[in-house]
Structure 1
Amino acid sequence: MNASASWVPARSLRPIRGLAASTVTLIALSALASACLSTAHLITGEPPAARTVHVAGLYALLQAPAGIAFVCWLLRARANAYAISPEAFHRYAALFMVAGWLLPVVQLFVPKGIVDDIWAASQPAEGPRGFLGDLRDARRPALVWAWWLAYLAMNAAWAAAVRTVPGTASPAVSPAVSPAVLVSAALAAHAALSLLAGALAVRVVTRITAFQGRAHGRRPQLAG
């Protein structure tokens, strides 16, 4: 996963606004649907653990279109970042653009690192040849940090809601705290965090897209 493994020759900028618009739409719909799913469980009083397989499958189905669109947008955005800053070395090889979201442990930090590198390399602030420094030393934007922490917290809240079964006691929790209350708290947190993570993801996509849009006048573009 060293930087040199990710180097590719400079490319021409490709249009990204249309892909970004589709990605933003799917992210917003996914966030809203996930929040509604948790809210529905809160209203009915049925915990996700009551139908784990079905509910987990529905949750994955809600997330999948947005996830696929986001990865496709990332692939286009990173290709453009290479064109804007051809001498910048990205920290992760191309295979981690997909595998980074799936591999245990790695999925906790690699996707954020990929977005951090694209963010930095998409801003030609150091001259006409783009970002000239080591991306490992680039400033980590607060917006990306906020999105990633909200995303991890959202998934943690959902996992807590699914794994907590009302009517069972947990030795790690005070007997005064009912498992049903814990499930309700986790579902409420998931609903709120789904909307927050979605809004922040939309902001990340639009900001990087805007950075690359400003570079279109300085680099040749490919049709399509």
Structure 2
Amino acid sequence: MVQIRAFVVGCLWLGRSRRLAEALPPRYRHRKHQAFIWTGWFLPIVNFWYPYLVVRDVHRATVGPAARGAGAWWAWFLTTDVVAVAIYVVVAGFALSDSAQYASYLPWLEAALAALTAATGALWVRIVREVAARQRARVAALAA
């Protein structure tokens, strides 16, 4: 439930941030249609890079060409997915065979997944905070 809520909140924020980035000068050409904010995560094959492109474009449109961090966030995100799949494979292997060998890997994989998730979350929060701060500053400057 936490992941579903985080996904919905993240996509809502990303959509609003993109609309604001498109409305504020200077204009930035986004590489992907806004529909990919939601659908890019689920489309087979392209879900390995479309979400990254959407986040990177919003980040660059707001911060400028010097925006850094989206690539690192996406690398950590994909690594987290790989570890989650490894955990699934280990659990399935343990269920199919009564070997305790598979069970000995689980604490290490779970700890790795927790650490990767924390690192990914920290990078995401950094991007969100940077985009939000820059957008607030740009709106305030236009209002003044």
TM-score, normalised relative to structure 2: 0.85
Residue 148 (structure 1) shift? 1.2
Q: Which residue of 1 aligns with 2:35?
A: 95
Aligned to 1:219, the other structure's residue is in SS state helix
Residue 168 (structure 1) shift? 6.0
Q: Is there any run of 5+ residues in structure 1 with no aligned partner, and where?
A: 1-60, 126-137, 170-177
User: Which protein has greater RCO, CA pairs closer than 8 Å, 6+ apart?
Assistant: 1
Contact 2:37 2:51 survives alignment (8 Å): yes
Q: Which residue of 2 aligns with 1:28?
A: none
Q: Is there any run of 5+ residues in structure 2 with no aligned partner, and where?
A: none
Q: Which residue of 1 aligns with 2:61?
A: 121
Q: Which residue of 2 aligns with 1:148?
A: 74
Residue 196 (structure 1) shift? 1.1
Within the candidate set 75, 83, 98, 1:157 is matched to 83
Could you tell me which amino acid in structure 1 is paired with residue 75 of structure 2? L
Aligned to 1:217, the other structure's residue is in SS state helix
Aligned to 1:103, the other structure's residue is in SS state coil
- Equivalent residues in 2 for 1:63-212 (5 A)? 63-85=3-25, 87-123=27-63, 138=65, 141=68, 143-164=69-90, 165-166=93-94, 178-212=101-135
Could you tell me which amino acid in structure 1 is paired with residue 46 of structure 2? V
Could you tell me which amino acid in structure 2 is paired with residue 166 of structure 1? F
Structure-2 separation of matches of 1:167 and 1:88 = 51
Could you tell me which amino acid in structure 1 is paired with residue 111 of structure 2? A
Aligned to 2:30, the other structure's residue is in SS state coil
Larger radius of gyration: 1
Structure-1 separation of matches of 2:27 and 2:95 = 59
Closer, same or farther in 2 for the Cα pair 1:76/1:210, shift >3 Å? same
Question: What's the RMSD between the two structures over aligned residues?
Answer: 2.0
Aligned residues: 138
**Larger fraction in helix:** 2
Identity %: 29
Contact 2:27 2:61 survives alignment (8 Å): no
Aligned to 2:142, the other structure's residue is in SS state coil
Closer, same or farther in 2 for the Cα pair 1:167/1:66, shift >3 Å? closer
Residue 140 (structure 1) shift? 6.1
Closer, same or farther in 2 for the Cα pair 1:167/1:97, shift >3 Å? closer
